């Protein structure tokens, strides 16, 4: 070892000990007679002193040092004259008797401190330097701890960690696959898994009734902000269970994580909310329940007052923004502008200021004070609240109002990252109608089991069928989701038919699964959690990129490695591929 202690370890109890430290030079302060060096490793920072009467070699070495030099220091621990209570090692310093430069460093392109002066692109290119900063180190350590806790819990509950292959079969359904050309099977391709969904179902058929894996998944999608082409899932599946069993065990798992990682306990069971309630009350299937401001349908109260905007709308809905009656006209205009941005796309915003007897509104002309008070009451507004109302097509306006609710909450400081509001959203619809392609898509995935009582509508009214599907939501983010699966080959065939698969296409793509079901498939179900997302939730930082050691940028590039890159013609030849020039 190059060291006897880490740079975060020494305390007053170590005074007078002879120690050896190794690490990076954070800072050098040359005070004429004395030189102070802040020496850093991932465990902390220790102050090194080179004294006036140190030998010449040590002084000479100290003079050469620059930021990020890697050095080894031998010395004696002494008590500091002026202690630094902000540093865990602040009671001591080490008087250097020998300094060895292990490797020099050129000047780094940005400061390696709690807050860096480097821009995003520069820090991505030199990710290995950015990773030296304490916030990223804390993130990596948090991720490590969470991974260990996840496994500890699931192992103790009898789940088996089983690795599934990364080179699998391409299935065009769902998102776009990354594909891998096979040299040994020319003109054929493997696909990288979007998730091990079908493989974990095969494990259930194989009798491994409790399975989990912390596993990489791949999706070749156009990247939105904070999406990565490769991401990590906590993937779980169980056999011989009902939906209630899955929710019970993974609620215990979530509590275990909150307790053991963040020391947070929840007195009450996690809330459960049917999908339709989440949509109608919060305009979202992943409502943020850290605060109230629930929606209410006021269509009946809004219609029939000669206000054509409302009269023409299918759905009129609003909520009471807590304590916002004091908003100025300018603030309200800003909210109106906010919802009119193309990203939200609303036509406008109606408001009612509830302030004692004096109820003011942007629709005073059409609604009497009593009418307005009735609306305010429906919205649960109290004195001092500001009712915000929008109208249009039901699910479209609900989604727009959701954006507004979150914006208002943000302004009110209600989205506290240290507060957690976990929730199960249940009873999802089985199918989603896509206007563009005029067909139904599986809302979850095509292996999701419909609720037995809704199976009768599968052919006649697919939109009405609810699924045994569930999402785990926290603070407005979907952290995980899953479903009870179909374990009957016949029902699976019916679902494929609803989704517009010909029997041939279904057989070609999922034949291996449907065939497996012929050999005795147990009832089974499970779920998967986004591990990157879970880390960012627990860490309280929005970007998942901060919890991934080597993330890709929004163009799917690793700018540090400079990947992807061109390959040799010889490699292409071996793979029986030729490039097509993009236009």
Footprint of its own copies on 164-193 (CB under 8 A): 164-170, 172, 176-192
Q: What is the DSSP letter of 46?
A: E
By CB under 8 A, name the one of 37, 521, 528, 544 that touches its own copies. Answer: 521
Smallest distance, its own copies to C-beta of residue 447, A: 15
292 binds its own copies (CB under 8 A): no
Three-state DSSP class for 508? helix
Smallest distance, its own copies to C-beta of residue 368, A: 57
Q: CA of 511: how far to CAs of 267, 368, 441, 517, in Å?
A: 46, 64, 19, 10
Smallest distance, its own copies to C-beta of residue 3, A: 6
Smallest distance, its own copies to C-beta of residue 16, A: 24
- Sort residue 231 into left (φ over 0), alpha (ψ -120 to 50) or beta: beta
> Rounded CA gap, 4 and 435, in Å?
67
Smallest distance, its own copies to C-beta of residue 79, A: 26
Among the candidate windows 1-9, 316-324, 372-380, 497-505, which touches its own copies by CB under 8 A?
1-9
- Whether residue 180 contacts residue 192, with contact meaning beta carbons closer than 8 Å, is answered with yes
- Whether residue 410 contacts residue 386, with contact meaning beta carbons closer than 8 Å, is answered with no
Which residues in the 60-79 window bind its own copies by CB under 8 A?
A: 68-70
Among the candidate windows 36-44, 296-304, 446-454, 460-468, which touches its own copies by CB under 8 A?
36-44
Smallest distance, its own copies to C-beta of residue 186, A: 4
- CA atoms lying within 13 Å on the CB side of residue 535: 26
Provide the 10 A C-beta neighbour count for residue 261.
18
Nearest to 400 by CA among 350, 347, 353, 321: 347
Structure tokens at 561: 């490695």
Taking the least distance from each CB to its own copies, the nearer of 110 and 457 is: 110
4 binds its own copies (CB under 8 A): no
At CB < 8 A and 24+ separation, what contacts does 281-284 make?
Answer: 282/402, 282/405, 283/317, 283/398, 283/399, 283/400, 283/401, 283/402, 283/403, 283/405, 284/398, 284/399, 284/402, 284/476
Burial of 117 (0-12, 13-18, 19+ CB in 10 A): exposed
By CB under 8 A, name the one of 78, 87, 122, 131 that touches its own copies. Answer: 131
Q: How many residues bind its own copies (CB under 8 A)?
A: 121
Among the candidate windows 284-292, 405-413, 416-424, 546-554, which touches its own copies by CB under 8 A?
546-554
Taking the least distance from each CB to its own copies, the nearer of 433 and 550 is: 550
By CB under 8 A, name the one of 32, 207, 342, 452 that touches its own copies. Answer: 207
Taking the least distance from each CB to its own copies, the nearer of 348 and 564 is: 564
Taking the least distance from each CB to its own copies, the nearer of 189 and 270 is: 189
Among the candidate windows 313-321, 421-429, 433-441, 516-524, which touches its own copies by CB under 8 A?
516-524
Nearest to 473 by CA among 522, 435, 505, 428: 428
Taking the least distance from each CB to its own copies, the nearer of 140 and 262 is: 140
Nearest to 422 by CA among 203, 271, 262: 271
Taking the least distance from each CB to its own copies, the nearer of 202 and 409 is: 202
466 binds its own copies (CB under 8 A): no
DSSP string of 367-378?
Answer: S-HHHHHHHHHH
529 binds its own copies (CB under 8 A): no
Structure tokens at 465: 């069928």
Which residues in the 474-503 window bind its own copies by CB under 8 A?
A: 487-488
By CB under 8 A, name the one of 31, 33, 106, 267 that touches its own copies. Answer: 106
């Amino acid at each position: 070892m190059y060291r006897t202690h880490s740079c975060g370890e020494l305390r007053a109890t170590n005074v007078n000990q002879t120690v050896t430290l190794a690490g990076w030079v954070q800072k050098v302060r040359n005070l004429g007679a004395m030189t102070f060096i802040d020496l850093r490793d991932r465990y902390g920072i220790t102050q090194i002193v080179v004294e006036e009467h140190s030998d010449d070699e040590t002084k000479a070495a100290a003079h050469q040092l620059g930021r990020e030099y890697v050095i080894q220091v031998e010395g004696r621990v002494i008590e500091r004259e002026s202690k630094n209570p902000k540093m865990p090692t602040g009671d001591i310093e080490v008087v250097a008797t020998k300094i060895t430069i292990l490797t020099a460093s050129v000047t780094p392109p940005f400061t390696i401190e709690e807050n860096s002066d480097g821009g995003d692109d520069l820090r991505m290119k030199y990710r290995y330097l950015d990773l030296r900063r304490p916030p990223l180190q804390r993130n990596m350590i948090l991720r490590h701890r969470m991974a260990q806790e996840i496994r500890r819990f699931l192992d103790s509950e009898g789940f088996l960690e089983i690795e599934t292959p990364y080179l699998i079969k391409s299935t065009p359904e769902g998102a776009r696959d990354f594909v891998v050309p096979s040299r040994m099977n020319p003109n054929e391709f493997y696909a990288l898994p979007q998730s091990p969904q079908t493989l974990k179902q095969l494990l259930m058929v194989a009798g491994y009734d409790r399975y989990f894996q912390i596993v990489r998944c791949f999706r070749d999608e156009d990247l939105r902000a904070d999406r990565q082409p490769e991401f990590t899932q906590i993937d779980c599946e169980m056999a011989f269970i009902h939906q209630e069993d899955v929710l019970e065990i993974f609620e215990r798992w979530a509590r275990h994580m909150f307790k053991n990682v963040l020391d947070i306990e929840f007195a009450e069971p996690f809330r459960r909310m049917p999908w339709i309630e989440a949509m109608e009350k919060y305009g979202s299937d992943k409502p943020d329940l850290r605060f109230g401001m629930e929606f209410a349908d006021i269509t009946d109260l809004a219609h029939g007052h000669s206000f054509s905007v409302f009269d023409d709308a299918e759905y009129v809905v609003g909520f009471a923004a807590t304590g916002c009656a004091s908003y100025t006209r300018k603030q309200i205009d800003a909210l109106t502008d906010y919802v009119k941005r193309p990203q939200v796309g609303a036509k406008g915003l109606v408001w009612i200021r509830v302030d004692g007897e004096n109820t003011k509104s942007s629709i005073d002309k059409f609604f009497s004070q009593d009418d307005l008070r009735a609306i305010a009451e429906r919205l649960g507004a109290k004195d001092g609240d500001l009712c915000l109302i929008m109208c249009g097509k039901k699910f479209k306006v609900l989604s727009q109002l959701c954006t507004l609710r979150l914006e208002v909450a943000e302004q009110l400081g209600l989205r506290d990252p240290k507060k957690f509001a976990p929730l199960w959203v249940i009873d999802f619809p089985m199918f989603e109608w896509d206007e563009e392609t005029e067909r139904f898509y599986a809302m979850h995935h095509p292996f999701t089991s419909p609720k037995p009582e809704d199976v009768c509508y599968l052919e006649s009214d697919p939109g009405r069928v609810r699924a045994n599907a569930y999402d785990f939501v926290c603070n407005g983010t979907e952290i995980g989701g899953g479903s009870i699966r179909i374990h009957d080959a016949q029902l699976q065939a019916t679902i494929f038919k609803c989704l517009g698969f010909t029997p041939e296409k279904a057989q070609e793509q999922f034949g291996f699964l449907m065939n497996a079901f012929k050999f005795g498939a147990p009832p089974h179900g499970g779920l998967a959690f986004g591990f990157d997302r879970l880390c960012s939730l627990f860490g309280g930082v929005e970007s998942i990129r901060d919890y991934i050691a080597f993330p890709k940028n929004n163009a799917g590039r690793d700018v540090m490695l400079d990947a992807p890159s061109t390959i040799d013609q010889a490699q292409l030849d071996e793979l029986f591929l030729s490039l097509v020039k993009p236009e």
